[in-house]
Amino acid sequence: MVQHYIKGLDEPNPWYTTDSPFGGPVAPVIVYQQADSEFKGWYLDNLFGNLWRRQEWEIYAPTRVGQVLRCSARVADRYRRRDRDVVAQEMWVRDEAGHLIARSFHHQSFLAAQTSGEVTLRDPASKEGARQGEEPSGEPLSIELRKTFTEAMCNEFFYRSRNYHNDKAASKELGFGDTVIGGRMTLSCVTELLTRYFGRGFYLGAAWT
Amino acid sequence: MKFTNVLWPNEPFTTRGIITGRRVESGQTRAEVTVFCEKADGTKIIVASASALEG
């Protein structure tokens, strides 16, 4: 898992393979993030045009490479947003002793009526807060990440299966004109930036919404 | 963390952050950060509010 993550994102952080401030290699902070999709039955039937909408995470402890974790989840909410139905799943990640490692909410949106054709995405310029000019004041972080995800990187990151994140035909079946870069990959850029900036503090009590 | 726009393969993007505040928590400093992933034309694909312990 860690090797696919490193290659898929092109993020060779030595903490993941050699040593870290926790003694020995530590996994990327939410390396277990795909566990939420392994629970069956919470997706709605119409997968056409489904997209990630929102995530929230709380991190309480690092995960060691090779450590066994246990995940549990529930459907926490279901609501309507414009032309989409949204399902929110809450997930808990625990170590073998039952200590909480992380907690998350994942909001997945499903088109309420459209089941074929081409998905119409809203114009980015029309979205609230989606363009520059609405940024908070403050001190810019001293680092930033610049990436371009290729199909090869998507194949590496989503090595478990072929889906609309690494297969154009699968993407077209869901109404998209090209493969859609997976939210897990862009989310990981956020956590990589914050891991680099905060260091160990990011593993010991971080949260993002 | 809101996923505000779709990213396609081979589109360059940047992930950056702005520290919006700091507070003391049990003797340590917790920083509040707003993080953006954005395309070259400024279109944001992720907007997130995060916090973590510094130092």
ipTM: 0.97
Residues of A in contact with B27 (CB under 8 A): none
HEC string for chain A: CHHHHHHHHCCCCHHHCCCCCCCCCECCCCCCCCHHHHCCCCCCCCCCCCEEEEEEEEECCCCECCCCEEEEEEEEEEEEECCEEEEEEEEEEEECCCCEEEEEEEEEEEECCCCCCCCCCCCHHHCCCCCCCCCCCCEECCCCEEEECCHHHHHHHCCCCCCCCCCHHHHHHCCCCCCCCCHHHHHHHHHHHHHHHHHHHHCCCEEEC
Q: What is the value of pTM for the model shown?
A: 0.92
pLDDT at A36: 92
Q: Is A189 on the interface with B (CB under 8 A)?
A: yes
Residues of B in contact with A57 (CB under 8 A): 1
Residues of B in contact with A181 (CB under 8 A): 6-9, 11
Q: Is the pLDDT of residue A75 over 60?
A: yes
Q: Do A208 and B35 touch (CB under 8 A)?
A: yes
A137: nearest CA in chain B?
A: B20
A201: nearest CA in chain B?
A: B53
Residues of chain A with pLDDT > 90, as a percent, come to 92
B11: nearest CA in chain A?
A: A148
Q: Is the pLDDT of residue A97 over 80?
A: yes
A30 vs chain B: nearest CA distance in angstroms?
Answer: 14
Paired strand residues for A208: A57, B50
